[in-house]
Amino acid sequence: MMVVMLADGFYPGQMELETATPPLAAAAATVASGHCPADAPALREIAAGSGWSVGEFTCRLGPQDRPFEERHASVTLAVIAEGSFQYRSASGRALLYPGAILLGNAGAGYECSHDHACGDRCIAFEFEPGYFAELAGDVTGAQGFRLAIPMLPALPELMPLVVEIGAGARGASRLAMDELAVRLVEKAVTITRGGAGAPGAPTLRDERRISRVLRHIEEQAAEPLDLAALADVAGQSKYHFLRTFRQTVGLTPYQFVLGRRMARVAAGLRTTKASVATIAFDAGFGDLSTFNHRFRHLFAASPSRFRTLTPRRGNSARS
């Protein structure tokens, strides 16, 4: 994800772990006036088991609010479902955005702020230190593993799991969420241990620019986007924008846009009865044959087959 048009017959769509109207849309519309809803961060418990739990956090704070300072009570792996925000911990500083995964060690202090826009929504897995150490030890064959970076970018290899987590958050059984928790730890440990790092910490000015672009992509999900237009949003030349975006997000603009489109299609397949073609076209894909090829490559299944692979559900995710 490099051509001037961010497409070879495609148009961009935003990442959505759910297809309902994004709950932060109203908040985002107010940021231009400098005011955001002042609600405190809200937690919706999803599931829990021995040594782990998962919940959906929705925050509507914005630039007018003081940074949110806290300490990780447990090891935290949080999938960003919506919005963007700044995250700072002892492991570094990063701009978090849809599809990225926040990483936090137990006992580590951290700060979240929304310097450039209102709100975010995350699906956060919390692991007791002993249980995380057990899982990480099974992956690495060693003890004492710690998360050394603040986040994982929205890498293509993470997208199938991220989509499953988004679908599971809407009511999968505890068994299904337990499995997702284990797989998430395995992925995070494997990727970080393999030397993959978080994007470099951007300057505050670049962070502001790229945050504007990320929000622009979300708001203009179904519209044609090209490199020049995105560079204009950032207030940079195409060359400097491409370099800054890649350094901040960990992906090129095309890779990010394509990933958001694919994630939106996957969510649509899991939550609606619309035809594959309708979902793909609504997400911004203009060539169905190329879309099918890319989808198979990413999810190892055709769109129709993927639709049948729904997470297992139960009457209660907490029992």
Lowest mean pLDDT among 17-21, 77-81, 231-235: 17-21
152, 173, 193 - which closes a domain: 193
Q: Is 311 helix (H, G, I), strand (E, B) or coil?
A: coil
Cα 8 to Cα 2, 143, 243, 293, distances in angstroms: 10, 46, 21, 13
Mean pLDDT over all residues of the chain? 83
CATH of the domain at 216: 1.10.10.60
Same domain, yes or no: 251 and 221: yes
Same domain, yes or no: 142 and 257: no
Same domain, yes or no: 42 and 137: yes
Quick one: pLDDT band at residue 39, thresholds 50, 70, 90?
A: low
CA angle 193, 195, 197 (to 5 degrees): 105
Quick one: pLDDT band at residue 281, thresholds 50, 70, 90?
A: very high
* pLDDT for res 62: 86
Asked whether residue 10 is assigned to any structural domain, the reply reads: no
Cα 36 to Cα 32, 57, 119, 122, 218, distances in angstroms: 9, 17, 8, 18, 18
Asked whether residue 9 is assigned to any structural domain, the reply reads: no
163, 193, 223 - which closes a domain: 193
Q: Residue 172 gets which letter from DSSP?
A: B
Tally of CA atoms within 13 A in the half-sphere of 26 that contains its CB: 6
Asked whether residue 161 is assigned to any structural domain, the reply reads: yes
The mean pLDDT value for 116-145 works out to 93
Strands 109-113 and 68-71 turn out to be antiparallel
Q: Is 78 exposed, middle or buried (0-12, 13-18, 19+ CB in 10 A)?
A: buried
* pLDDT for res 115: 80
27: left (phi over 0), alpha (psi -120 to 50) or beta: alpha
Most confident by average pLDDT, 2-16, 29-43, 185-199 = 185-199
The mean pLDDT value for 228-250 works out to 93
The CA distance from 316 to 89, in Å, is 34
Residue 165 has pLDDT above 60, yes or no: yes
Same domain, yes or no: 181 and 62: yes
Strand partners, 83: 120
Residue 292 has pLDDT above 60, yes or no: yes
Same domain, yes or no: 234 and 293: yes
* pLDDT for res 121: 94
Same domain, yes or no: 147 and 181: yes
Asked whether residue 19 is assigned to any structural domain, the reply reads: no
Give the E-state strand segments of the chain in sequence order.
42-49, 52-59, 68-71, 75-83, 85-89, 92-96, 101-104, 109-113, 120-127, 151-152
Residue 33 has pLDDT above 70, yes or no: no
Asked whether residue 111 is assigned to any structural domain, the reply reads: yes
Lowest mean pLDDT among 21-35, 113-127, 169-183, 285-299: 21-35
Same domain, yes or no: 169 and 35: yes
Judge contact between 82 and 217, C-beta under 8 A: no
Same domain, yes or no: 35 and 159: yes
Asked whether residue 11 is assigned to any structural domain, the reply reads: no
- Can you tell me which residue has the tokens 């919940």? 55
Tokens of 230: 């995105």
Same domain, yes or no: 208 and 173: no
* pLDDT for res 139: 92
Asked whether residue 245 is assigned to any structural domain, the reply reads: yes
Strand partners, 89: 92, 110
Structural domain for 76, as ranges: 25-193
Tell me how many domains the chain contains: 2
Asked whether residue 186 is assigned to any structural domain, the reply reads: yes
Quick one: pLDDT band at residue 44, thresholds 50, 70, 90?
A: very high
Quick one: pLDDT band at residue 198, thresholds 50, 70, 90?
A: low
Quick one: pLDDT band at residue 315, thresholds 50, 70, 90?
A: very low
Quick one: pLDDT band at residue 11, thresholds 50, 70, 90?
A: very low
- pLDDT tens-place string over residues 51-104: 999 999 999 888 888 887 899 999 999 999 999 999 999 999 999 999 999 999
* pLDDT for res 65: 83
* pLDDT for res 1: 31
Lowest mean pLDDT among 11-15, 28-32, 94-98: 11-15
Same domain, yes or no: 186 and 219: no
Residue 305 has pLDDT above 60, yes or no: yes
User: Per the confidence metrics, is the pTM higher than 0.85?
Assistant: no
Name the H helices within 220-252: 227-234, 238-249
Most confident by average pLDDT, 31-45, 133-147, 252-266 = 133-147
Same domain, yes or no: 161 and 303: no
Tokens of 23: 């709950």
CATH of the domain at 95: 2.60.120.10
Residue 265 has pLDDT above 60, yes or no: yes
What is the identity of the amino acid at 90?
A: A
The CA distance from 24 to 271, in Å, is 20
Same domain, yes or no: 131 and 151: yes
193, 218, 251 - which closes a domain: 193
Q: Is 224 exposed, middle or buried (0-12, 13-18, 19+ CB in 10 A)?
A: middle
